[in-house]
């Protein structure tokens, strides 16, 4: 069967349930209907004895999934209609949790760009495969949001201070980098993917992934770890900027420039989120905290302005609320405060 206006194909092949994103011209960006179709399939396959394994893949060479479809969210937000975005995030986050907790093996084959919503779809499963073309990132601070879809959980679990670096700068990870940071498990050359896919579908067993795995090309993060850990050890943006300024290296200069492109409120909230998730590391906890920010983002953060600058007008010149300054701890806390009756819940997980 196909769903979400043919933007995602949902089929059963051999012993596998196959979810295939089919809008390559849009870099397979996730829409709300696509998330609903994927989640419905996951629920149905949990108890289907003919489905031994779930395979998540995408059409096209350029992207597995480059994020969520945010242009529509911008149009709704400019009209003051915040409910559709909040509903989308709520249901997407529940799908992210379902993937993480899924009772059957799930394999994701992630080529090209894997960003934002693509990380939420492909990186919470048990067997995460990358290839030569994979470029993974959580670039949300650059559009006035925070790393969401469970991204703060992955970032909080990354070694050293890689989470702070990747989360605030949106730096892209090559295959080895993604494995080092805990966003992927195995590198399989893309030329070997057809044989791997055939084995997964035929056997319904994920061990074909480890058999096909190879050494990835050398990335950058391993060599940068000492500089990253020193620069991002501080408790807030001011301390991180001070450390980078004092370092006076090419890495420090480039990283300061990346931080300058980020929304100060988003970057500060990202640091606070990582600290909170490390204190109580669980995906559901991370998603709950992320939802508090995204629920408020259209009204009280830089999200609409970030989309305008990057996606709509493309002037790359966002006018951030805290341009040149660091938000106060109180402002950050307000974005992450409990939502009362609007708090994210996971009842559907056991429905």
Retrieve residue 95's tokens: 């799908």
Residue ranges of the alpha helices (H) in the chain?
32-46, 70-78, 83-100, 117-122, 151-157, 162-169, 175-181, 193-203, 207-212, 221-231, 237-247, 250-261, 264-279, 283-300, 303-307, 329-335
Report the C-alpha gap between 245 and 256 in whole angstroms. Answer: 8
- Any catalytic annotation for residue 148? yes
- Any catalytic annotation for residue 117? yes
CB 65 within 8 A of CB 21: yes
Task: Reduce the DSSP state of residue 105 to 3 states and report it.
Answer: coil
* Burial group, residue 250, by CB count within 10 angstroms (0-12, 13-18, 19+): exposed
Task: Reduce the DSSP state of residue 95 to 3 states and report it.
Answer: helix
CB 322 within 8 A of CB 265: yes
Catalytic-labelled residue, pool 148, 176, 177, 185: 148
Retrieve residue 191's tokens: 């030329």
* Burial group, residue 152, by CB count within 10 angstroms (0-12, 13-18, 19+): buried
Catalytic-labelled residue, pool 69, 140, 164, 185: 140
Retrieve residue 20's tokens: 């295939």
CB 228 within 8 A of CB 254: no
Catalytic-labelled residue, pool 117, 122, 151, 163: 117
Catalytic-labelled residue, pool 17, 39, 57, 68: 68
CB 231 within 8 A of CB 244: yes
For residue 280, is it left (φ>0), alpha (ψ between -120 and 50) or beta? beta
Active site residues: 68, 117, 140, 148
């Amino acid at each position: 069967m196909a769903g979400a206006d043919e933007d995602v194909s949902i089929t059963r092949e051999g012993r596998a349930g196959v979810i295939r994103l089919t809008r390559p011209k849009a870099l397979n960006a996730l829409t709300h209907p696509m998330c609903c179709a994927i989640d419905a399939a996951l629920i149905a396959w949990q108890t289907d004895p003919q489905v031994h394994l779930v395979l998540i893949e995408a059409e096209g060479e350029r992207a597995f999934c480059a994020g969520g479809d945010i242009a529509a969210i911008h149009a709704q937000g400019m009209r003051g209609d915040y409910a559709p975005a909040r509903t989308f995030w709520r249901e997407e986050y529940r799908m992210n949790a379902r993937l993480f907790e899924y009772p059957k093996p799930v394999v994701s084959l992630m080529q090209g760009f894997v960003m934002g919503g693509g990380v939420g779809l492909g990186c919470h499963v048990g067997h995460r495969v990358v290839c030569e073309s994979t470029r993974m990132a959580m670039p949300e601070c650059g559009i006035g949001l925070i790393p969401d879809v469970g991204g703060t959980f992955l970032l909080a679990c990354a070694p050293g201070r890689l989470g702070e670096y990747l989360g605030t700068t949106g730096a892209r990870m090559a295959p080895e980098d993604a494995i080092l940071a805990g966003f992927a498990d195995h590198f399989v050359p893309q030329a070997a993917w057809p044989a791997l896919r055939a084995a997964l579908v035929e056997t319904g067993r994920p061990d074909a992934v480890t058999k096909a795995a190879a050494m990835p090309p050398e990335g950058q993060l391993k060599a940068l770890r000492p500089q990253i850990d020193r620069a991002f050890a501080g408790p807030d943006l001011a301390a991180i900027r001070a450390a980078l300024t004092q370092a006076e290296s090419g890495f420090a200069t480039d990283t300061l420039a990346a931080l300058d492109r980020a929304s100060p409120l988003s970057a500060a909230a990202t640091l606070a989120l990582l600290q909170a998730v490390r204190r109580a590391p669980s995906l559901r906890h991370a998603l709950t905290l992320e939802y508090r920010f995204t629920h408020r983002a259209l009204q009280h953060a830089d999200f609409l302005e970030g989309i305008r600058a990057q996606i709509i007008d493309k002037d790359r010149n966002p006018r951030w609320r805290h341009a040149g300054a660091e938000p106060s701890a109180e402002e950050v806390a307000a974005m992450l405060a409990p939502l009362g009756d609007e708090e994210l819940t996971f009842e559907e997980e056991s429905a």
